[in-house]
Amino acid sequence: MKKTIEFVGLTVLMLWTILSAAQLTQNPGQGYKPPRTADGHPDLNGTYDIATITPLVRQGPVQRVLTDEQAAKMEAQIMKERKDGDAQLSPDRPAPPKGNGDQDIPVRYRIASGNVGGYNSFWIDPGWKVNVVNGEKRSSIIVDPADGHLPAMTPEGMQRAASLRFLPRSDTRESSDPGLERAPGAYDDPERRPPSERCLLGFGSTSGPPALPVLYDNLHQIVQTPQAIMILTEMVHDVRTVRMNAQHLPKNIRPWLGDSVGHWEGDTLVVDTTNFNDKTRFYGSSENLHVVERFTRTGPKTLLYQFTMEDRATWTKPWSGEYTWPATDSHLYEYACHEGNYSMTDILKGAREREQTPAKAEDNK
Amino acid sequence: MASPPAAAHHAFGSEFDSNAPVLIKGKIAKIEWVNPHTWIHVETTKPDGTTEIWMFEGGSPNTLLRRGVNKMTFPAGTDVIIDGYQARDHSEKRANARNITFTDGRKIFLGSTGTGAPDPEKFPATAEPPK
């Protein structure tokens, strides 16, 4: 009986995964004859700049496909923010306001700028174009669920996500300092800090999987051989090695970016990733996250990137996204993160400083 | 469900103190061209005539390199005004580089759009110092 239930459950799950993937563009690149490597497969070698202003999650009351006017409005808004950021200031300006450094920062960047205003727009390079897939200007990277939003989380997933960083536990006071994380002991040890601060991985799932656009340094390089395909992400020189036609590693081996194996389905490279560890959590996902990515050349300078995410312990159903990776002639530069990471010591010293100040000590709990 | 948070290399608010705004006028002493953040060292003269060095955190140098800005663009001695918020450990003369301008108020780096090769007429990566 138990086996029957498991079998039925597994079948439902597989059907769900197939249905989720069905929302993705089918037979992409049809009619385009890509250049091929010596072994006859499409040549994916190259550098891609995946920056786009199309967000992962749909924003506002728009459909999956943007009208030309809607797309133009989004692009004009980015240009305006750029121009505002470049505007001349008074040489006699005072220091910025106490307690609120975010008032002149575009709303979309305020969470990252931590109430001190981050730094202004010249350092940020989130792209300036909406993403085009199959001739459609897209409003979100997520295409399934059809509303462009992540599916509901399971109660277990919500609890895990909350306990990671964002919410206080019942035995802690909520910090009154908007710049601080509320999780208890978040600053007690460098190993409690997130992988990006520790220079172990880039932030915001830049390397993935799934690989997603971030605020800057969005370059990715693919190097293709018959036995393995490497995907190098500029930040922080994260390397994914996709072993072709191979079996997954044993479950007790859990690399930072999971374990990726690949195969070709026609002219599409399909990459299957499992064996995540408990630190590289995508929006709080579990170690049992399963990602399937599909890479297809769709034109002389474009590659379509599609992915399906499945994690029964986190989301109530699988979900899928897709967006175009444009090839670029720009150079991907080394990103030697440890060498100048003053931030880590500043953050930990800042926490020690607060511990010495009784009035602020509550914020450290 | 709320949108996922925008991310950055680190939480700015945990490194810098929003109750300690600073504005420093001085000369660029050097720029540390390192990841994850560029650090701009500025020598400033205090009211008693002695000098001190402040360090300001900027973004990734890779972004600027793609725009044609490099180590030689702003030589030591360039006069600047920088504002930001001091590190939470106030014994450190460090702050985030919220705005970096020449002495006439123009931004020294300009935010261009796209990485490839922005049109230098339309999107110059830097401004010229005042004559």
Q: Identify whether residues A122 and A221 lie together within a single domain.
A: no
For the entire predicted model, the pTM comes to 0.88
Domain assignment present for A298? yes
**Residues A276/A252, Cβ–Cβ less than 8 Å:** no
Q: Is A122 on the interface with B (CB under 8 A)?
A: yes
pLDDT value of position A171: 40
pLDDT average, residue stretch A53-80: 94
**Taking the domain B15-101, which CATH number applies?**
2.40.50.140
**Domain region containing A227:** 2-66+137-364
Domain assignment present for A331? yes
Domain assignment present for A92? no
pLDDT value of position A179: 65
Report the C-alpha gap between A217 and A124 in whole angstroms: 9
Domain assignment present for A318? yes
Domain assignment present for A91? no
Q: Characterize the bridge pairing of strands B16-32 and A238-244.
A: unpaired
Report the C-alpha gap between B74 and B94 in whole angstroms: 20
Residue A3, classed as helix, strand or coil, is helix
Q: Identify whether residues A117 and A259 lie together within a single domain.
A: no
Q: List chain B residues with CB under 8 Å of A331.
A: 65-66
pLDDT value of position A127: 87
pLDDT average, residue stretch A235-253: 96
Asked if the model's pLDDT at residue A80 lies above 90, the reply is no
- Kindly report the average pLDDT of chain A as a whole number: 87
ipTM metric: 0.84
Sign, CA torsion B67/B71/B77/B82: positive
Q: Identify whether residues A115 and A252 lie together within a single domain.
A: no
Q: In the A/B pair of chains, how many CB contacts fall below 8 A?
A: 268
DSSP-derived letter for residue A334 is P
Q: Identify whether residues A286 and A243 lie together within a single domain.
A: yes
Q: Identify whether residues A262 and A346 lie together within a single domain.
A: yes
Q: Identify whether residues A205 and A178 lie together within a single domain.
A: yes
pLDDT average, residue stretch B83-99: 92
Q: Identify whether residues A20 and A75 lie together within a single domain.
A: no
Domain assignment present for A342? yes
For A208-221, what is each residue's pLDDT tens digit?
999 999 988 999 99
> Sorting pLDDT into bands at 50, 70 and 90, what band is A288?
very high
DSSP symbols for A93-156: --PPPTT---TTS-GGGHHHHTTTT---GGG----SS--EETTEEBS-SEEESTTSSPPPBPHH
Q: How far is the CA of A120 from the CAs of A69, A268, A344, B82, B90, in angstroms?
A: 28, 40, 21, 11, 23
Domain assignment present for A93? no
Q: Does the distance separating the beta carbons of B87 and A85 come in below 8 Å? A: no
Q: Does the distance separating the beta carbons of A197 and B83 come in below 8 Å? A: no
Domain count along chain A:
2
> Sorting pLDDT into bands at 50, 70 and 90, what band is A286?
very high
pLDDT value of position A81: 84
Residue A352, classed as helix, strand or coil, is helix
Asked if the model's pLDDT at residue B94 lies above 90, the reply is yes
Report the C-alpha gap between A269 and A45 in whole angstroms: 12
Q: List chain B residues with CB under 8 Å of A96.
A: 21, 23, 83-85, 98
Q: Identify whether residues A154 and A7 lie together within a single domain.
A: yes
Please give the torsion angle defined by the CA atoms of residues B76, B80, B84 and B87, in that order, rounded to the nearest 10 degrees: 30
Q: Which of residues 338-357 of A touch B (CB under 8 A)?
A: 339-344, 346-347, 349-354
Q: List chain B residues with CB under 8 Å of A216.
A: 59-60, 62-63
For A173-212, what is each residue's pLDDT tens digit?
445 565 676 666 778 888 888 888 899 998 889 999 999 9
pLDDT value of position A1: 58
Report the C-alpha gap between A133 and A325 in whole angstroms: 10
> Sorting pLDDT into bands at 50, 70 and 90, what band is B8?
low
Could you list the beta-strand ranges (E) of A174-301: 219-224, 228-233, 238-244, 259-265, 268-274, 290-299
For A96-143, what is each residue's pLDDT tens digit?
989 877 777 777 666 566 678 776 677 788 888 999 999 999 999 999
pLDDT average, residue stretch B87-97: 93
Q: List chain A residues with CB under 8 Å of B68.
A: none
Residue A55: partners with Cβ closer than 8 Å, 6 or more residues away: A140, A141, B3
Q: H/E element holding B94?
A: strand B94-96
B56 forms beta bridges with B40, B95
Q: Identify whether residues A245 and A121 lie together within a single domain.
A: no
Mutate to test the interface with A, among B12, B53, B81, B119 (most CBs of A within 10 A): B12
Q: Does the distance separating the beta carbons of A283 and B12 come in below 8 Å? A: no
Asked if the model's pLDDT at residue A294 lies above 50, the reply is yes
Q: Identify whether residues A163 and A280 lie together within a single domain.
A: yes
Q: For the ranges A272-276, A290-294, B124-128, which has the lowest average pLDDT? A: B124-128
Buried b (16+ CB within 10 A) or exposed e, A269-307: bbbbbbbbeeebbbbbbbbebbbbbbbbbbeeebbbbbb
Q: List chain B residues with CB under 8 Å of A351.
A: 14, 88
Domain assignment present for A194? yes
Report the C-alpha gap between B28 and B25 in whole angstroms: 10
Asked if the model's pLDDT at residue A363 lies above 70, the reply is no
Asked if the model's pLDDT at residue A165 lies above 70, the reply is no
pLDDT average, residue stretch B37-62: 94
pLDDT value of position A204: 87
> Sorting pLDDT into bands at 50, 70 and 90, what band is A44?
very high
